Amino acid sequence: MLIHRARDLVTARVTLILATLLLVVHGVVEVCGGPEGVSAWYLTFGLSREGLLQGQVWQLFTYGFLHGDWLHLGLNLLALLAVGARLERIGGPEMVLKTVAVGLLGGGVFHVALSGSDSQVLVGVSGAVFAGVLCLSGISPGSRMWPLPISGKNFGYGVLIASAVLASLNPRLRLGDWSDWGRQLDDLGGGLVFSTSHACHLGGALAGLVAAHRLLRPRVSLAQLQADRRRREGPCG
């Protein structure tokens, strides 16, 4: 099993290029003093509601290439490599690029819509990672989500439900008792539970699920359309 995973990773060129790009970008950030030293970059290319209202629509994609620190980047890279390599083996580079794009877009839209007006600038590629996970679970629902002993279908449902619940519990949404429970949960987690954008994860996951269904939809050729038309019209007298 490990040999097959390693082979998938070595041959996943687009996934490796994306991972390398993320490493290089964050390396440059750290050399320039870290996120605090280049805060203008984060305000310009990270995602915020204020930025979108000012017409900075590129933020819906560029936020995925910035990260808060090495730990944030490392966790996302591990997940991206694991998911991206498998996607690339199944559907090729095009599937990886499309899934990353729709994941970033879906995650960004949900973050802006569901994280409250006072949410922080969003950075990180996790929306694309969640899209990849749900795309895999939609394409291959019966396969095991290694290293977990669980099917892709059940894992996908679990990710969706957990992301939806956590996103709705965000205290910034001010949903009465529900948000109060979110504050209690955040207190138990040392204030770290909602430092992550669960709305972004939810949006990315849903985008990945939609992408999977579109990828699985059979493509209709011109010859098929012409054959269907001939069958409908029947023989000419």
**What confidence tens digit (pLDDT) does each residue in 39-97 have?**
999 999 999 999 999 999 999 999 999 999 999 999 999 999 999 998 998 889 999 99
For the chain, give percent helix, strand, coil, nearest 5: 75, 0, 25
As assigned by CATH, the class of the 2-228 domain is mainly alpha
Q: Which whole number is the average pLDDT over 161-166? A: 94
Residue 235: asked if its preceding bond is cis (omega within 30°), the reply is no
Work out the pLDDT band at 120, boundaries 50, 70, 90.
Answer: confident
Structure tokens at 139: 């394409």
Alpha-carbon torsion (120, 189, 160, 143), positive or negative: positive
**pTM metric for this prediction:** 0.84
Ordered by start, the domain boundaries in the chain are 2-228
User: Which segments of 169-197 does DSSP mark as H helices, in order?
Assistant: 177-188
